[in-house]
């Protein structure tokens, strides 16, 4: 397949998806056989510890419409998608799906129609999540909090499942930030964007690869990369603590002048110390988050390391 004949590249990051792999390939193959436009599929193996890497190689050598990008280790979902974006050959754009089949690849035709209507980003909005009540509440609260503090509009309840035009692919490939939050980057690019509401499926096999710690890391990237709220809150906390101190000072002065009685003991002192120490620790933590991101950025390490690429049925060592 030459670059000129490929319309859309489908990117599917994979991490330990051996159990669902055959069904994923079956559905992707059915989609690209009947969609009515030319597609390639980019399977990104994100350092899987099971047989996913072998399955990717076998599929890509068997069907030249599949390209395999095998990373040197587990880099995480956001960087795996980033690796896939760097190998996109579709002249009209790319579609990003999860390899666990929670994102139905059959929707590609609907997305493609909207893309041809002049939109650059079609992002999927989940109508009904298949997670626990706790996760649903956490997601809902986070997306609304993020939207309220972001310096630009980031759609709520949307994930990485999307179709983006070729020019958006190129712009995102030129964005060098280490702490990737793709749905924020996608929204930041701008152009015409449209929501596509869909019913998200359950995982067909295996377990979610996003632990609570990884979800928090992703959430922090969304907050610190696309909002100045955290750094501004330090100033606000400073004003609040000064105000509390002045109120406490005024209270003591009032008691002294009118009652000749000043509250004594360790309680007030300890509470004051705890308050100021807490504010200082929070402030240092917020500054540390920004410093860490600056540190990671100035090291200028590559975002990911590719072990090998299988394209057009042939293996290419990077």
pLDDT of residue 136: 67
pLDDT of residue 123: 87
Give residue-wise pLDDT tens across range 50-65: 889 899 888 999 889 9
- Residue 58's alpha-carbon distances to 25, 152, 313, in angstroms, are 12, 43, 9
pLDDT band at 255 (very low <50, low <70, confident <90, very high): confident
Q: At what angle do helices 182-189 and 212-225 cross, to 10 degrees?
A: 30
Q: DSSP label at 36?
A: S
Domain map of the chain by residue range? 8-226+303-317, 229-298
Q: Span 8-226+303-317: which CATH code?
A: 3.90.550.10
pLDDT of residue 165: 93
Rounded to whole angstroms, how far apart are CA atoms 272 and 248? 10
Find which of 8-17, 240-249, 294-303 is predicted with most confidence, using mean pLDDT: 8-17
pLDDT of residue 139: 66
The arithmetic mean of pLDDT across residues 279-301, rounded, is 77
pLDDT of residue 206: 54
On average, the pLDDT of the chain sits at: 80
Comparing 169-173, 221-225, 238-242, which segment has the lowest mean pLDDT? Answer: 221-225
Rounded to whole angstroms, how far apart are CA atoms 224 and 230? 7
pLDDT of residue 68: 92
Rounded to whole angstroms, how far apart are CA atoms 10 and 13? 10
Give residue-wise pLDDT tens across range 131-156: 667 766 776 777 676 666 676 677 77
Residue 170 has pLDDT above 90, yes or no: yes
Q: What is the pTM of this model?
A: 0.74
Strand order in the sheet with 158-165: 193-198, 121-126, 158-165, 93-96, 8-14, 39-45, 66-71, 306-311, 314-317
Q: DSSP label at 278?
A: H
pLDDT band at 207 (very low <50, low <70, confident <90, very high): low
Comparing 9-18, 153-162, 179-188, 209-218, which segment has the lowest mean pLDDT? Answer: 209-218
* Token code pair at residue 124: 């999927």
Rounded to whole angstroms, how far apart are CA atoms 204 and 251? 63
Give residue-wise pLDDT tens across range 109-130: 999 999 999 999 998 887 766 5
pLDDT of residue 167: 93
Residue 219 has pLDDT above 60, yes or no: yes
The arithmetic mean of pLDDT across residues 285-291, rounded, is 79
């Amino acid at each position: 397949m030459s670059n000129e004949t490929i319309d859309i590249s489908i990117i599917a990051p994979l991490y330990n998806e051996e159990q669902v792999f055959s069904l994923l390939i079956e559905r992707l193959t059915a989609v690209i056989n009947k969609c009515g436009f030319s597609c390639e599929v980019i399977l990104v193996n994100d350092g899987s510890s099971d047989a996913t890497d072998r399955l990717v190689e076998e599929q890509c050598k068997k069907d030249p419409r599949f390209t395999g990008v095998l990373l040197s280790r587990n880099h995480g979902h956001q960087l795996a998608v980033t690796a896939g974006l760097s190998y996109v050959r579709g002249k009209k754009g790319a579609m990003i799906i999860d390899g666990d089949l929670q994102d139905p690849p059959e929707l590609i035709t609907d997305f493609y129609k909207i893309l041809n209507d002049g939109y650059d980003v079609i992002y999927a909005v989940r109508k009904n999540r298949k997670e626990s009540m706790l996760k649903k509440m956490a997601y809902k609260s986070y997306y609304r909090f993020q939207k309220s503090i972001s310096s630009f509009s980031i759609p709520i309840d949307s994930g990485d499942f999307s179709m983006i035009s070729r020019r958006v692919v190129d712009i995102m490939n030129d964005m060098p930030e280490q702490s990737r939050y793709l749905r924020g980057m996608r929204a930041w690019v701008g152009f015409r964007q449209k929501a596509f509401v869909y019913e998200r499926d359950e995982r067909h096999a295996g377990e979610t690869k996003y632990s609570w710690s990884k979800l928090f890391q992703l959430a922090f990237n969304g907050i610190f990369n696309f909002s100045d709220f955290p750094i501004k809150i330090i100033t606000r906390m400073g004003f609040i603590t000064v105000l509390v101190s002045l109120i406490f000072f005024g209270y003591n002065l009032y008691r002294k002048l009118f009652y000749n009685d000043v509250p004594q003991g360790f309680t007030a002192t300890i509470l004051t110390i705890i308050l100021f120490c807490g504010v200082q620790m929070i402030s240092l933590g917020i500054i540390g988050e920004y410093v860490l991101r600056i540190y990671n950025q100035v090291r200028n390490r590559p975002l990911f390391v590719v072990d090998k690429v299988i394209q057009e049925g042939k293996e290419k060592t990077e």
